[in-house]
Amino acid sequence: MEINILAFKILGDDRGSLISIEQSKNIPFDIKRVYYIFGTKQNIRRGFHAHKKLKQVAVCISGSCKFLLDNGETKKTTLLNRPDKGLLINDMIWHEMYNFSSDCVLMVLADDFYDENDYIRNYDEFLKVVNG
């Protein structure tokens, strides 16, 4: 399993930096929803699910956190600690987030609206579905 990191071009000048995110240009889908996670307490792990259809890109716009991605065969971890890097989270990838810094703001761009029915929150069920 490849970890797919998107590199956003840093724009700006001597006043500072700016990143522009545009659907279907530097994000590989149309964006229907944006949410962000912040104020996560120390030693908390979040996520623990896969999405049946949803595709997402996660960007740590402040601070850092780690992701574990699992396709049912392979598990990989990656550190997000730069606002110019986005992690593509495809459908049917079990993911967990952990090691949140106190200043972490994790922004997530999603290709659909919130739908609890799209979540698989049980790992054994995930393995059954992903392995056919």
| Structure tokens given for 82 | 């730069």
User: Would you count residue 10 as binding ligand T46 (CB under 6 A)?
Assistant: no
Q: Name the minimum Å distance from CB 66 to ligand T46.
A: 12
Q: What distance in Å separates the CA atoms of residue 106 and residue 44, rounded to the nearest whole number?
A: 14
Q: Is 113 buried (19+), middle (13-18) or exposed (0-12) by CB count in 10 A?
A: exposed
Output 47 or 127, the one with its CB closest to ligand T46: 47
Catalytic residue selected from 49, 66, 82, 85: 49
Which of 21, 26, 29, 47 lies at the binding interface for ligand T46 (CB under 6 A)? Answer: 47
49 is catalytic: yes
Number of chain positions touching ligand T46 (CB under 6 A):
9
User: Would you count residue 56 as binding ligand T46 (CB under 6 A)?
Assistant: yes
DSSP letters spanning 30-73: ---EEEEEE-PPTT--EEEEEESS--EEEEEEES-EEEEEE-SS
User: Would you count residue 68 as binding ligand T46 (CB under 6 A)?
Assistant: no
User: Would you count residue 83 as binding ligand T46 (CB under 6 A)?
Assistant: no
Q: What distance in Å separates the CA atoms of residue 71 and residue 86, rounded to the nearest whole number?
A: 19
Considering only residues 95-124, where is the footprint of ligand T46 by CB under 6 A? 108, 114
Contacts of 48 by beta carbon, 8 Å cutoff, 6+ apart: 94, 96, 121, 123
Q: Name the minimum Å distance from CB 25 to ligand T46.
A: 22
User: Hey, which residues are catalytic here?
Assistant: 49
What is the binding site for ligand T46 (CB under 6 A)?
33, 35, 37, 46-47, 56, 58, 108, 114
